[in-house]
Chain A
Amino acid sequence: MSAKNTPENSAALSSARELRRVIESVLHLAKKTHAEDTEVHVEEVDDSLTRFANNAIHQNVAERGVTISVRTIADGRTARATTNRLDEDSLRGAIDASLALAGSQPKDPHLLPVPGGQPLC
């Protein structure tokens, strides 16, 4: 996420503040839609794996990436859309996709609202 990454710190994860900014962006953008509630899940991974076979390293891989999952609720319907693009257009696209998915299905009479704010230990 940070444009400051260099080869030497390519594995560095984003700061909590940067990730929180993504969440705030999604929630802010969602307020401009007809979504009644919005849930955002942001996950960042940095995985490395070394595999040995026949007494040698044959696969040695590393992965870094962010996933933003957006669930909206509107008019008794809900759905989720996911992206890994952090620009505003893409975040808006994920919200719109979530609303479009939700809007295409029948109302769910058993749908529960998003839980209110919960205290964290």
Chain B
Amino acid sequence: MWELAGHSLDIARLRGASYADVRVMHLRQRDLTTKNGEVGTLAQSESIGLGVRVLANGAWGFASSDQLFREGVAACAARAVAIAKASALAKRGDVVLVPEQAYVDSWQAPCRKDPFEIPLETQLALLLAADGEMRRVKGVTLTETDMQFRKIDSWFASSIGSRIHQRKFISGCGVAATSFQGQEIQKRSYPNSFGGQHSLEGYELIESLELLKNAPVIAEEASALHSAAQSPEKTGTLILGGSQLGLQIHESVGHPIELDRVLGEEANFAGTSFLTLDQLNKLRYASDIVNVVADARLEHGPGLGSFAYDDEGVPAQRTDIIKDGLFRGYLSNRETAHLIGLNRSSGTMRTESWNRLPIIRMTNISLLPGSWALADLIADTDDGILMDTNRSWSIDDRRYQFQFSTEIGWEIKGGKKARMLKNPSYSGITTEFWNSCDAICSRDHWTLWGTPNCGKGQPMQTMGTGHGASPARFRNIRIGAAFSKQ
């Protein structure tokens, strides 16, 4: 791989590139799903190729190819340079990159059990057994399970001398039970909705989830939700479970801090951002107890945003995003870092595949834990609602006004978890919401949730992001109910 990568860099230089980097990537994927006790998807794929990014005449060009032989990669590199020269015909100014060192390294994310070495029959049997556990529960009308595995090898080389190999395993799994009754649909998912939990781990993740134990629990809840009370509509106290808070972070912190959106260079899928450059180090984003970081280092956990180097050859870092409630940082790259006064990229350039241009991406955007035990937090809440597991979301294209609904709610009365509530939702304005946070649970309740399906860019790229969160309490929140009968 290094020989091909080096050859493409040589060709790019010969053709006039002032900078070039290349990623050779080999991706393997396995997907399994079941529905109502029958096998749904059962697919395996692999893809290998190379992408060359160059600067020529002060502008970017990118070309990719799966022709992994000398003539093929040479043609690809030459095409990237030709594209860059064409881009230069419509540029505002020359692209300026902040400095970065060259690195020669090989890194592998921890993986105790290679999921591709576990027999398919074993994986499918587990899903079918979990599916069966849910179907045994009266009132459940649709059961779904899924399992996904990815193995990614990437070889990064750049004209400044970096040669970085990284290997990652990504595993994910989840189950869901849906109950139809009359005009109403209720659903419960474990351990999270929209595909479950995903992380930078091997098959050990699947084994840790205890699917067979938890599947009947959520099935019972899905059925019981039909006879639960409707969530009230009021302004009050809200406690969010960790997985829902993870998505809240993703949508109302993660997307608006992507510097390409801030600068108006990206608007696909999530729009632009309310976080204009003048607000850095000035905006009271949240209450004093709120600390949010972008942390791609493995020390933060095996998140979908964990790596050793980003796809621009910049080492993984931890960046303060919100520090003691104050807005402190964006997600930047080598091209944009200097625009916010930094002399180094925050290391957030990521690509979905060899045939996609690296773009600024969330890494692990996490709310740091507080000090509360969940039981104490509930005991300290006289009147409120605990909401858990996302059901739907909506946020405007500057990431400022939002509405979320969750699969389940629990009434908190007199410091005790009381009756189940159905169709809960809440809405708010990003900064008002985060400034209303008055309690965050401790590390004992903290989970690094994986969001495997974040879409961005054109051509669209799907990327996994991580969001660490523990349950937290918010005051004076507008609470509502989906499907309410006015």
Contacts and interface: CB of A to CB of B under 8 A. Distances in A.
Contacts of A63: 63-65, 355, 459
A84 B66 contact: yes
Contact of B47 (A7, A9, A48, A83): A83
A5 to B, nearest CB: 5
A58 interface: yes
Contacts of A10: 63, 65, 75-76, 78-79
Interface stretch (B116-124, B290-298, B306-314): B116-124
Nearest to A10: B75
Contacts of B263: 54
A114 interface: no
Contact of A82 (B43, B61, B86, B355): B43
Interface residues of B, number: 53
Given A10-B79, A62-B63, A105 B90 contact: no
Interface string A73-108: 000000111111100001000000110111011101
Contacts of B61: 60
Interface string B78-101: 111011101101111000000000
Interface string A30-51: 0000000000000000011111
Contacts of B65: 10, 63-65
Interface string B446-459: 00000000000011
Contacts of A6: 71, 74-75
A75 to B, nearest CB: 14
B361 to A, nearest CB: 14
Contacts of B121: 104
A93 to B, nearest CB: 8
B156 interface: no
A5 B76 CA distance: 10
Given A56-B91, A61-B83, A65-B64, A7 B75 contact: yes
Contact of A80 (B43, B59, B84): B43
A26 B266 CA distance: 42
Given A54-B264, A59-B60, A61-B62, A84 B42 contact: no
A8 B64 CA distance: 15
B415 interface: no
Contacts of A67: 47
Contacts of A56: 90-92
B17 interface: no
Contacts, number: 142
Q: Interface residues of A toward B: which range?
A: 35 or more
B14 to A, nearest CB: 10
Q: Interface centre among B39, B264, B356, by most A CB within 10 Å?
A: B39
Contacts of B39: 105-106, 108
Contact of A65 (B44, B49, B77): B49
Contacts of A58: 60, 265
B469 interface: no
A47 B120 CA distance: 35
Nearest to B80: A62
A88 B468 CA distance: 45
A97 B72 CA distance: 27
Contacts of A54: 92, 263-265
Contacts of B356: 61
Contacts of B119: 104
14 contacts: A3-B71, A3-B72, A10-B78, A11-B79, A48-B83, A55-B92, A59-B62, A61-B63, A64-B65, A81-B44, A82-B44, A82-B47, A84-B48, A101-B43
Interface of A: 1, 3-11, 47-67, 79-85, 90, 97-98, 100-102, 104-106, 108
7 closest A-B pairs by beta carbon, nearest first, are A7-B78, A10-B75, A82-B45, A104-B120, A61-B62, A60-B87, A105-B39
